[in-house]
Amino acid sequence: MKIDQIHKLFLECSIVDTDTRKISLNSMFFALKGENFNANKFAKDALDKGAKYAVVDEKEHVLSKNYILVDDVLHTLQKLANYHRNFLGTKIIGLTGSNGKTTTKELINAVLSQQYNTNATVGNLNNHIGVPLTLLSLSKETEIGIVEMGANHQKEIEFLCDIAQPDFGYITNFGKAHLEGFGGVEGVIKGKSELYTYLQDCNKLIFVNNSDAIQKEKTNAYNKTYTFGTTQDSDSIIELLSADPFVKIKTNNTAINSNLIGSYNFNNIAIAITIGKYFNVSLDNIKKGIENYIPTNNRSQIINKNTNKIILDAYNANPTSMKAALDNFTKLSDTNKIAVLGDMFELGNSANDEHKFIADYASKLNINHTYLVGKHFYENKIGKDNLSCFKSFDDLKAHFENSAISNTTFLIKGSRGMALERILEII
């Protein structure tokens, strides 16, 4: 069956499903395969639960006219998403970068949705499956789609751009993330810049942070840019007023108070404001969008528990974001401060050096004590009185269960696999 025919059937459906545990009535089910699963085997179950069609790539599972047989289910999902994106003609903002993608995406959506019908990537579904799912969630009412694109190796952003075909794009930053897959920092820059290459080749607009030397260098010879920064030559001039702990900024003589902690979130807020200005969102609505946004999902959350204040930033971590979080933490006016830092993953051959650097760096900051947890930190601990190292979370937990800590501000940060939010149960 050709993709335009599949698309006509898709338009009859309410939504796309890929998990038989969460089937929606009248959905189109895509029987994806993975290393440890083959959803072709569950296509009948999806239809029995209410799906209207099931897309499969194994003929023996076709039992009725409600099955759509294709050569490759994943490839069909991606082709259908691209077809649907062009069928609608919705304006698409593509977003990538090493740190802050999801927060930035949510802030942009918070601002634009004040005046437009928007649709944005759910959570961090930003890979070769998530991007198609986002595109297929767009409707004829959607005026602007905000598509987050993640990558951990070369050519992945290029591939996602070919599917999403963004009209606008922004790269949050180039940091020490996924070094193992990208092959070092230069590989990160090259891989993330694939978004620039696509936009320039297609004569699309690039949003540029004037304070980021790499962004400026990569877009210097391109004339379809819209810039933001603190300098007068920026299209959108934005000033950081404070970050103790919440970020407060000023633009066009208007102060905006966010619910995000850390000066490292300044650029994330600034680009949302900038994109709002570009799309002629009123300043009042920009302010409303930023001030009403509340971070969730372990990202820059402040939690008050008993007499302690907890800065929970445990969704993910890499050396760049870890250093930024520590820098911000040490600037806070709070008297008693404790940092709990978990291992950073996907660093490849750089893992030992990067963990050693963070441990040494934390030991020199204005922090009462730093607790390091995880195999990498434990193996690269350094002899400092204000550092404690634990090989596992259970070891850390045992320590805190035997400690009574009060009137203290905690920073909790680590890679997703460390699940450091579990510490909330014991402090």
Q: What is the pLDDT of residues 396-407, one digit of tens each?
A: 999 998 888 899
pLDDT higher than 90, residue 267? yes
User: pLDDT band for position 188 (50/70/90)?
Assistant: confident
What number is the average pLDDT over the span 261-276? 95
Give the residue from 328, 268, 263, 264 showing the smallest Cα distance to 293.
268
User: pLDDT band for position 301 (50/70/90)?
Assistant: confident
Instruction: Please state, in angstroms and rounded to a whole number, the distance separating the CA atoms of residues 346 and 93.
Output: 28
* Cα 50 from chain centre: 32
Instruction: Please state, in angstroms and rounded to a whole number, the distance separating the CA atoms of residues 181 and 374.
Output: 21
- What is the dihedral angle through the alpha carbons of 89, 149, 167, 267, rounded to the nearest 10 degrees? 130
User: pLDDT band for position 300 (50/70/90)?
Assistant: confident
pLDDT at 427: 83
Q: How many CB atoms lie within 10 A of CB 251?
A: 21
pLDDT at 175: 78
pLDDT at 19: 94
pLDDT higher than 90, residue 381? no
What number is the average pLDDT over the span 205-223? 96
What number is the average pLDDT over the span 124-135? 94
The domains of the chain, with CATH numbers, are 3-71 (3.40.1390.10), 89-292 (3.40.1190.10), 301-425 (3.90.190.20)
In sequence order, what are the beta bridge partners of 198?
Answer: none
State pTM to two decimals. Answer: 0.88
pLDDT at 182: 78
CB 176 within 8 A of CB 354: yes
What number is the average pLDDT over the span 397-418? 92
User: pLDDT band for position 167 (50/70/90)?
Assistant: very high
pLDDT higher than 80, residue 137? yes
Q: How many CB atoms lie within 10 A of CB 245?
A: 20
Read off the tokens for 135.
């595109």
Convert the pLDDT of each residue in 221-247 to its tens digit.
999 999 999 999 999 999 999 998 899
Mean pLDDT in the chain?
Answer: 93
CB 98 within 8 A of CB 318: yes
Residue holding tokens 């986002």?
Answer: 134
Instruction: Please state, in angstroms and rounded to a whole number, the distance separating the CA atoms of residues 73 and 81.
Output: 12
Convert the pLDDT of each residue in 65-106 to its tens digit.
999 999 999 999 999 999 999 999 999 999 999 888 999 999
What number is the average pLDDT over the span 331-350? 91
Instruction: Please state, in angstroms and rounded to a whole number, the distance separating the CA atoms of residues 155 and 71.
Output: 24
- 335 Cβ contact list (under 8 Å, min separation 6): none
What number is the average pLDDT over the span 182-200? 91
User: pLDDT band for position 185 (50/70/90)?
Assistant: confident
- 403 Cβ contact list (under 8 Å, min separation 6): none
Describe the crossing of helices 156-164 and 73-88 by its angle, rounded to 10 degrees: 50
User: pLDDT band for position 116 (50/70/90)?
Assistant: very high
* CA atoms within a 13 Å half-sphere pointing along the CA-CB vector of 251: 28
Instruction: Please state, in angstroms and rounded to a whole number, the distance separating the CA atoms of residues 102 and 121.
Output: 9
Classify residue 64 by its DSSP letter. S
Read off the tokens for 301.
């959350």
What number is the average pLDDT over the span 186-203? 94
Helix (H, G, I), strand (E, B) or coil at 145: strand
What number is the average pLDDT over the span 159-174? 97
pLDDT higher than 80, residue 179? no
Number of H helices, E strands in the chain: 16, 20
pLDDT at 196: 97
pLDDT at 336: 94
Instruction: Please state, in angstroms and rounded to a whole number, the distance separating the CA atoms of residues 189 and 274.
Output: 23
C-alpha distances in Å from residue 271, one per residue of 206, 219, 236, 300 = 12, 16, 9, 18
pLDDT at 295: 87
